Amino acid sequence: MPAGIFKLTTSEAVGVHSAKFDNEKDSANILAAVQRYNITHPVVNDSDGTMWQNLGISCWPTLVIIGPNGEVLFILVGEGHKNDILVFVKTALNYYKNYGQLLDHSLPLAPAVHILPELKGLLFFPGKVACIGIDIQGVDGAHYKALNNNNDTSSAISKPEEAVNNNSISQEDGDPERLAVSDTGHHRIIVFRTSGRIEHVIGGDEPGFIDGTFQDARFQSPQGVVFRSPSLLYIADTENHAIREVNLQTLHVRTLVGSSSQGLNVVGGAQLTEQVISSPWDLCLVSSSLITESSALEESDRDVLLIAMAGLHQIWALFLNETTWWKGKLYPAGTFTAVVGSGKEENRNNSYPHAAGFAQPSGLSVANELQAVFVADSESSTIRKISLTDGKVSAVVGGDRSPFNLFSFGDRDGKQFDAKLQHPLGVAWCNQDKTLYIADSYNHKLKAVSVPNNVCTTVLGSGKPGNSAGHYERPDNVELNEPGGLCVSHDSQRLYVADTNNHCIKVVYLKDKIIEKLTILLPPECKQQPESKNMTGTILPSELAISSDGGEISLFISVTLNDGITLTDMAPQKWALEFPDPSWSANTYGGEYEQEMTLCIVVPKQKQASSNSFSVSYRLYVCREHSECSVRDFHFLLTVVYTEDAPTRVIHYLSHVVGLH
């Protein structure tokens, strides 16, 4: 829903969610999606399809423009109507304003961020996870070098080279695997070891489209991540409609494909940063040698980047080297083009790659031994296979034989079409046991397909959303919550799972039947304190001194309302406490607004910094009686200065009077 179009005070966007999948009928799952995509307009759960039927809606998306008297003015079906909407809405606003039928004030609407789950920690709706062994064969001895296109270094594509400096690791390190997770809700990438030790935080909490250093770079809801080497990875920057490159050696991010504009081109072939694409969701790297060789190969330079282009229902390829593709077609290095899929939203298998059809492909995994790529096709609830020798697309499990049936979903183990999935988002091939693992997202399960029998079975998950850890005897002893991505460890002993709605990465030990949450540890130099420049609203700074040995702060806070101001009825009135790191603690960390309250803060012993800051933040929705309403954000920003002769027990008073402006 293009809510940004309706930022006039006399109109408002309301999303109506009429579900296709059973999982989407649950209000809790809709709330999670609203929070994940930072949707700020109201959303109605039309779980039984009542509004859908009463309005005669026939497909997604449909836009209904309603007048001030509840009358239907205009209905637009499908995507790509932005200009029509703008013209019609502006005309309608002028018309009704001239007749005095519009009220010129804002509505007291509250984004759903105020009810974010308490379990949210370092990660926020992680989408995908990738891993690579630091000491894998075929990486050491290779070199980065630029491929120049007409001497244009801005379009150069890096190649793998030996990992050095902080990217090197010895066999004695005991942690010979590197992981990357797309921290989608925080618009950043986090690179860490299997121990949970963070090496890099790339990007920031706010969305953007910026190349540069890891601190300056910005993404927007990134999803797919894939390593080309231990020090080079590619990112599907989904809502920027771009492919980005992250170099862990130079600590730099740059854009390979896309300009942040969304497009409907289903062919490709334009200059890389001029090519418009739509919602790239996952990535995998394959070796062009697999196209021509008749037997499984040792992994060589993976020089073709495949992209699951969910918004175009296709698979695209970025050719990193000059490549001879199917039917002998030669692609120069740096070519970016659609290679599989017609662009029609279908579940169509076909021997001709461009005649095949996908429905929002969202997960990719290559099986070198099979010379194939597996695809999690979410809207058809199927797993498909693309032959790397000729591009043939065939069914693996799930869905229906009819290419037009995108409603054949469920939760059933079985063979090929007898098996049913519900909106799978991730796949991961394990060569050791010849098994394809699936993140069956809306069934809250992990499943496995035995290849080549195409028999699908549940690995773990009860079918209900939850958050489990520990040993499990049976698959239904475990609960996940919309897992969105997964990968197999380089020794094939573990699965790493992005348990998206639980805001964490989980490790599944396949032989031992143990599932654990992977604790990701932010090193001291990466920890971010509350800073006024990152805060919106009013900043209320203060300072106090405490002993270098730490101590306790008794914080008395009084927040009152100005005369004539009242709290907006039924709106959330919240406060939250933010500390610089987990070594700080308090008797409570947030809750409903109270006029007066007392916080007991436990301050840790001084480490390195001479001072630290923490904040108490408020968001209140207030109104003047029978008049305008507003949201008031303000923050008590307290700087604690460590001093040897300061007391270990401190009493501090804070107060603020809230007005409408």
For the chain, the average pLDDT equals: 85
Checking if the pLDDT of 61 tops 60, the result is yes
d(CA 651, CA 206): 35
Give the single-character DSSP code of 277. B
Q: How confident is the model at residue 468 (pLDDT cuts 50, 70, 90)?
A: very high
d(CA 362, CA 62): 23
Question: How high is the pLDDT of residue 3?
Answer: 39
Say which CATH topology domain 129-517 has.
Neuraminidase (2.120.10)
For residues 637-651, give the mean pLDDT.
92
Question: How high is the pLDDT of residue 408?
Answer: 95
Domain ranges across the chain: 3-115, 129-517, 527-658
- Most distant pair of Cα atoms in the chain: their distance: 81
What is the number of other CB atoms lying within 10 angstroms of the CB of residue 301?
A: 18
Contact by Cβ (8 Å): 500, 127: yes
Q: How confident is the model at residue 192 (pLDDT cuts 50, 70, 90)?
A: very high
Cis preceding-peptide flag for 582 (omega within 30 of 0): no
Q: In the CATH scheme, what is the code of domain 3-115?
A: 3.40.30.10
Contact by Cβ (8 Å): 15, 39: yes
SS3 469: coil
What is the number of other CB atoms lying within 10 angstroms of the CB of residue 610?
A: 9
Among 171-185, 274-288, 464-478, the minimum mean pLDDT is found in 171-185
For residues 292-296, give the mean pLDDT.
55
Does the model's pTM come out above 0.85? no
Q: How confident is the model at residue 273 (pLDDT cuts 50, 70, 90)?
A: very high
From residue 263, alpha-carbon distances to 240, 242, 260, 344, 418 in Å are 11, 11, 10, 15, 36
Nearest C-alpha neighbor of 315 from the set 289, 367, 273, 277:
277
* CATH 2.40.50 for the 527-658 domain, yes or no: no
Nearest C-alpha neighbor of 601 from the set 563, 552, 646:
552
d(CA 557, CA 110): 24
Question: How high is the pLDDT of residue 523?
Answer: 54
Please name the helix (run of DSSP H) or strand (run of DSSP E) that holds residue 33, with its range, or none.
Answer: helix 27-36
Among 18-27, 86-95, 273-282, the minimum mean pLDDT is found in 18-27
Q: pLDDT above 90 covers what percent of the chain?
A: 57
d(CA 31, CA 338): 34
SS3 615: strand
For residues 501-513, give the mean pLDDT.
94
Q: Which residue has the tokens 């662009």?
A: 343
The distance in angstroms from the start CA to the end CA of the chain is: 30
d(CA 461, CA 438): 12
Nearest C-alpha neighbor of 551 from the set 426, 636, 475, 645:
645
